[in-house]
Amino acid sequence: MAGATKSFVERPRSLRVLREEIAGGKTRAADLAAAYYDRIEAVNPHLNVYLSLTKERALEQAARVDILAAKGDPLPPLAGIPVGIKDVLVVRGAAATAGSKILEGYCPPYDATVVTKLDAAGAVLLGKINCDEFAMGSSNENSAYGPVRNPVDTERVPGGSSGGAAAAVAANLAVATLGSDTGGSIRQPASFCGVVGVLPTYGRVSRYGLIAFASSLDRVGPFAANVRDAATMLTVIAGHDAKDATSSPMPVPDYAAESDQGVDRLRIGVPGEYFGEGLDPEVRAAVESGMAALERAGCTVKPVKLPHTKFAVPAYYLVATAEASANLARFDGVRYGYRSKSPENLSSMYRHSRDEGFGAEVKRRILLGTYALSAGYYDAYYLKAQKVRRLLAEEFLRAFAEVDAIVTPTAPTPAFKLGEKTGDPLAMYLADIYTVTASLAGICGVTVPCGKTSTGLPVGMQVLASHFHEGTAFRVARAVEAAG
């Protein structure tokens, strides 16, 4: 339908400025929250970002912040800042769907650790945000609650699986959001929507309260409109958590302060493997302009070799689906969520609940993962993929002995149109070709806007750094942002 395309892009004000205004009494947190709810009411019908709103809790939190501010008490780091939460993270008393029918009616009785941390930091939680079912997808078209539309162009996808969390920031339906990234689910939508997205190092941020997809890969990370705000968000949510045995005891630095340090004399690696066949020429040009900006800022840009890159997507889809098949076994209609109305016995209750509750992509991945783990195929698929994973991880460690950061395109193309890839699962998987490598290696990264195509679609640059070197990735991303 010609002429249906509409833009809902609006840049949120910076977190730092908003917080200062709230502390100084110039802005009331309650008014700010109300203004965001008004905008959500007007814009959400067009974009389908929010699945549910947590108004009562948000307004109570805003009132608490306003009382502190009125007394002149010191305010926590996110005092009064309106944020949205991808609906794979649980919020006490708020419907949790993971974009799936199988969790219908489920209201978790607890907060995810990252939600507890945001709450303690004074953030105002606006609501739960749409995503691909169980975070499986690269376009947000796999949500049981309908696709999210890209605020830049509503006929295009916002990317996935955290498409709603990226779109929320792009359309100013939140100042910042939390998403999850298993194979690119924060970075790719950040690129498609023109916002900043952070993949923290594996173990940097607690996953307690994240509905699991692939546990050796799943990470929680922030989206924001600028790099410094994203760094502030990460500082709040990072850190060890006794409730997540994979979380690291490494101390958490002030990432925002680290991001201020500049990039003079940093060594930047460019892997040729990420610039080959399939890369859109306009994406390439935008990423190269970002690289030129880094050179101007004093970085040394040099080639690095990551020769196993082409094996990353196959290895990723085997590891991720195998783990998913195990994680999603828990959804059986017994303890919470959807139960089929027509069970004959226990076994058929399991099977019918799962068949009626899960969507096609989730079933496809459960089947692939079960197949890869089944007798006779385990060695050829799952074990083989884990060996390739080691090769990929070790080659990153070798590269990071020579360079401080590696820059690549985040995705091979800008945002594609709704429906363009839904009939071809493999084509959809290839949208993750530049992001799954860092997922498998456990390293960190930041996606930062580095330009636009001739039709105005955003392009993101992926800045990768070694384990627990988020500060370096933020510094490089700041330099790219400053040149834009």
Partner 1 sequence: MTARVTVEDVGRVAELANLELTPDESAQMLKDLNAILDYVAELKDLDTSGVSALAQVSDLSGAEAGSVLRPDVLLPCLDRATVMHQAPETDGAFFKVPKVIER
- Give the catalytic positions in this structure: 86, 161, 185
Residue 302 as a binder of partner 1 (CB under 8 A): the answer is no
Residue 273: other Cβ atoms inside 10 A: 17
Residues paired with 219 in a beta bridge: 181
Helix (H) or strand (E) holding 341: none
Residue 276 as a binder of partner 1 (CB under 8 A): the answer is no
Considering only 36, 192, 213, 358, the residue that binds partner 1 (CB under 8 A) is 358
Residue 390 as a binder of partner 1 (CB under 8 A): the answer is yes
Residue 249: other Cβ atoms inside 10 A: 7
Residue 413 as a binder of partner 1 (CB under 8 A): the answer is no
Residue 344 as a binder of partner 1 (CB under 8 A): the answer is yes
CB-based contacts of 3, cutoff 8 Å, min separation 6: none
Closer to partner 1 at the Cβ: 134 or 202?
Answer: 202
**Cβ 152 to partner 1 shortest distance, Å:** 30
**Cβ 3 to partner 1 shortest distance, Å:** 35
* Cα–Cα distance for residue pair 92/79, rounded to 1 Å: 20
Residue 128 as a binder of partner 1 (CB under 8 A): the answer is no
Question: CB–CB of 339/353 below 8 Å?
Answer: yes
Question: CB–CB of 36/173 below 8 Å?
Answer: yes
Dihedral sign, Cα of residue 409, residue 413, residue 419, residue 421: negative
What letter does residue 459 receive in the DSSP assignment? Answer: E
Which of positions 42-101 make contact with partner 1 (CB under 8 A)? none
Question: CB–CB of 287/407 below 8 Å?
Answer: yes
Considering only 14, 289, 386, 453, the residue that binds partner 1 (CB under 8 A) is 386
Helices 55-71 & 29-47, crossing angle to 10 degrees? 150
Closer to partner 1 at the Cβ: 186 or 368?
Answer: 368
Closer to partner 1 at the Cβ: 195 or 322?
Answer: 322
Residue 214 as a binder of partner 1 (CB under 8 A): the answer is no
Residue 213 as a binder of partner 1 (CB under 8 A): the answer is no
**Number of chain residues interacting with partner 1 (CB under 8 A):** 78
Considering only 82, 290, 337, 458, the residue that binds partner 1 (CB under 8 A) is 337
Residue 8 as a binder of partner 1 (CB under 8 A): the answer is no
Closer to partner 1 at the Cβ: 67 or 380?
Answer: 380
Closer to partner 1 at the Cβ: 342 or 455?
Answer: 342
* Cα–Cα distance for residue pair 402/408, rounded to 1 Å: 16
Inter-CA distances, 83 with 80, 303, 480, Å: 9, 39, 25
Question: CB–CB of 385/319 below 8 Å?
Answer: yes
Question: 239: which 2 tokens?
Answer: 């850190």
**Cβ 375 to partner 1 shortest distance, Å:** 10
Inter-CA distances, 431 with 187, 348, 391, 402, Å: 11, 36, 22, 28
Considering only 289, 311, 422, 483, the residue that binds partner 1 (CB under 8 A) is 311
Residue 449 as a binder of partner 1 (CB under 8 A): the answer is no
Whether a cis peptide bond, with omega within 30° of 0, leads into 161 is: yes
Residue 251 as a binder of partner 1 (CB under 8 A): the answer is no
Closer to partner 1 at the Cβ: 110 or 275?
Answer: 110
Residue 248 as a binder of partner 1 (CB under 8 A): the answer is yes
Question: 1: which 2 tokens?
Answer: 């339908």
Return the residue matching tokens 């339908």.
Answer: 1
**Cβ 251 to partner 1 shortest distance, Å:** 12
Residue 364 as a binder of partner 1 (CB under 8 A): the answer is yes
Q: Is 449 helix (H, G, I), strand (E, B) or coil?
A: strand
**Cβ 405 to partner 1 shortest distance, Å:** 16
* 97 backbone dihedrals φ, ψ, rounded to 5°: -115, -25
Stretch that binds partner 1, among 24-32, 111-119, 280-288, 358-366 (CB under 8 A): 358-366
Inter-CA distances, 418 with 56, 148, 304, 361, Å: 34, 10, 35, 16
Residue 325 as a binder of partner 1 (CB under 8 A): the answer is yes
Stretch that binds partner 1, among 72-80, 119-127, 148-156, 343-351 (CB under 8 A): 343-351
CB-based contacts of 360, cutoff 8 Å, min separation 6: 142
* Cα–Cα distance for residue pair 215/436, rounded to 1 Å: 14
Considering only 334, 402, 419, 482, the residue that binds partner 1 (CB under 8 A) is 334
Stretch that binds partner 1, among 49-57, 60-68, 279-287, 370-378 (CB under 8 A): 370-378
**Cβ 252 to partner 1 shortest distance, Å:** 14
Residue 467 as a binder of partner 1 (CB under 8 A): the answer is yes
**Cβ 143 to partner 1 shortest distance, Å:** 19
Question: CB–CB of 282/414 below 8 Å?
Answer: yes
Residue 384 as a binder of partner 1 (CB under 8 A): the answer is yes
Residue 330 as a binder of partner 1 (CB under 8 A): the answer is no
